[in-house]
């Protein structure tokens, strides 16, 4: 399944919409995504499963690139 991760670059940064970044990962579970991102020291706001029409919409974005864990 593909997951969209919304995050800020550092743990010290407050969650502000204008500074929120996103990444896409292919993984078996949300827990696997969080576990693998722990070393990056991001302030993870949400990890959302992306499928169906939502996935098709996200694929249209120029920033859509799926990373494998």
Residue 43's CATH number: 3.10.20.730
With a pLDDT cut of 90, the percent of the chain lying above it is 72
Q: What is the mean pLDDT of residues 17-25?
A: 90
* pTM of the full structure: 0.87
Contacts for 51 with CB less than 8 Å, ≥ 6 apart: 1, 2
Does the pLDDT at position 48 exceed 80? Answer: yes
Does the pLDDT at position 51 exceed 80? Answer: yes
Q: What is the pLDDT of residue 24?
A: 96
Q: What is the pLDDT of residue 15?
A: 80
**Where do we find the tokens 């859509």?**
64
Q: What is the pLDDT of residue 32?
A: 96
Domain limits at 63? 2-68
Q: Total domain count for the chain? A: 1
Residues in the chain: 69
């Amino acid at each position: 399944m593909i997951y969209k991760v919304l995050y800020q670059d550092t743990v010290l940064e407050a969650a502000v919409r204008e500074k929120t970044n996103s990444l896409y990962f292919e993984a078996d579970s949300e827990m696997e995504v969080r576990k693998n991102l722990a070393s990056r020291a991001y302030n993870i706001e949400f990890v959302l499963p992306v499928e169906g029409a939502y996935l098709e919409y996200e694929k249209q974005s120029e920033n859509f690139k799926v990373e494998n864990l």
